Structure 1
Amino acid sequence: MKKGFITLLVVALAFASLPFTAAAASFKDIGGTYAKEYIEVLSQKNIISGYNDGTYRPQEKVTRAQFAKMLALALELPGSPDAAKGFKDVKDWADPHVGALVEAGVTKGIRPDFFGADNPITRQEMIVMFVRAMGMEPYAVLTNPISGFDDEAKISQFAYNHVAFAEAIGFAEGSNNSFMPTTTADRAAAAKWIYNFTIDEEKYFNRALSFIVGNTMTLENAERAKKIDEDTVRIYNFDRTTEDRDLVEFMNELMVRLNYEYLYFLDGMFWNESAISVKSDLVNTAMDFWQSEYSGYTLKVSATDASARLTAHLNEFFADEENVYYSYSILEEMLFFAEDEGIIEMK
């Protein structure tokens, strides 16, 4: 398992339970489970292990600490016990793995001092960690996907974007079109998702790339994208042309574009309730895009001047309660003002 999912955006897997045998080619209790193939493949690759009695126990629940160990080892992350010392409930055997995920930004715990190590992990919690481990969390948030699961209303707010994103790329599957987000995950489900995450890594990464490209509105000609090698992505355009780009540079470009587009969905109420530093970030997000080589605009004044004038205008514009009431978009208002005042012009 390559660590590229996480490192891109700087952009032996074992359950921790008692007692385990060495990895086996098969287990005597998995014949009737849907996960038989996944379990056997991962076992043959020494990625998962069973119990001393020759069983895998596919219906047994997986704790958050056990899953942390699974995922950290699947990602080949170096152990980092010190990073988990703030959690009062993590046992010594899990410290290196939980800490590794904390350092990689895959988990924060339930609270700063509580990881929930012995809590059975839910399906939505697993998906959140997978999406973060893929390095796709910011893209899942900014593309703002909508879930098609019948029980999507039961998905917690913290996990909604992650589940909907994973659903869009075919990673998060349910039963009878229900995801059952708060249902605790068992060892069979864990094996299936770990299999998909490790064995089919390339497939899901390319699906994620194409989903992001398809939901980046300022990429008007791009239809989909595919990673060609560790450094290169190929973009397939609607006009049937292709373009090879540096993978990291392209992912960074997507992030700039998506952050810019996200301003469209923010309105005057958000502006008025934001701190001065947040307002500055919002204006700088627009200017970062306008100044980029792939923008359709050219910044005609200094960034300092543009920032001051845009901020002053938005403060004045959204001080009018009527403008807030009509939910004018921050991005649209910035564009109107910047074009009218000659701050930007079309290339």
Structure 2
Amino acid sequence: MTALTVLADDARHAQPGHPDRPARMAAIRNALDADPVLAALPRLRGLPASREALERVHDPAYLDLLEAFCERGGGDLDVDTYATPGSLAVVREGCGNLLALVDAVCGGDVANGFALARPPGHHARPMAAMGFCLLANVAVAARYAQAVHGAERVLIVDLDVHHGNGTQEAFYEDPSVLFVSSHQGDIYPGTGHLAETGAGAGAGTTVNLPVPAGTGDELADLYRAVLPPLAARFRPDLVLLSFGADAHRLDPLAGLDLSVAGLADAVGVIQEVADTHCGGRLVATLEGGYHAEVLATCVAAVARRLADPMAEIADPFGPTARRTRDLGTLTEAIRGRHRLG
């Protein structure tokens, strides 16, 4: 069974004109409620993420700064990241819901789950907010799974148009977390190059898949070529997915060309990896996606795929629009760099 978590009230985190706005979650809630299959899935709710859980990833000084900043009324933390008096409560609620899903999946109560919250988290660094993100949700979830549920090896896949630099930084020298990020290679935040593969004991456990602008549904083929051999070598106890619908061709903030069905197919590859190596234990969390209708449709498609790997995926926006990119050279470069045969 698949479980969901959905933020009950995210209106406290809002700034006029900002791409990350409450309309994103409103569209998702409407889409879930309108689909009889998804409306019937259990919806979990956790406690706000504790300070202890957050400090497994974030520096206490940063958490103190963020709390004080919100208490003083908030404002702009950097050129594109804001906080309001209610932001910390919103982001802690979303992160806590994600941890509740980790509990449910690792405890065997559900097969997998999707935590739907905002703001996103994969740009948040251990010591700073960045790129709309305040807390590194998926990184916190990985450390929580290790500390509370004894997951020795955690695979994090970041399927978002932007590189998950914050997640990468949190685990760059850690061999117990395999981080794989696919992203448009020529945009914000300017990290995620092929040569970034980890350091120290973590050498080889960061894998970046920087694809060119215009890449479409062929991304799933890249996943099929790279993820299974990586996972077979790493043998994860849990798979976490940072999912961003901003890789869709209609998203206003980037330039990939995936369709709803193509994104769902890529998630299907990740699900197959979880089925093969860790009993299907897969927990997804929402990252980007700034066209509200597209976001809601993509989220519904991914939730349906998690609930039923054979589900037909409705795609009202149609297939990849541009000519298919040849990712063969990139695929071979990745396989060669990471010795995948």
TM-score category, normalised to shorter length: under 0.3
Give the TM-score normalised by the residue count of structure 2: 0.24
Larger radius of gyration: 1
Give the TM-score normalised by the residue count of structure 1: 0.24
More strand by share: 2
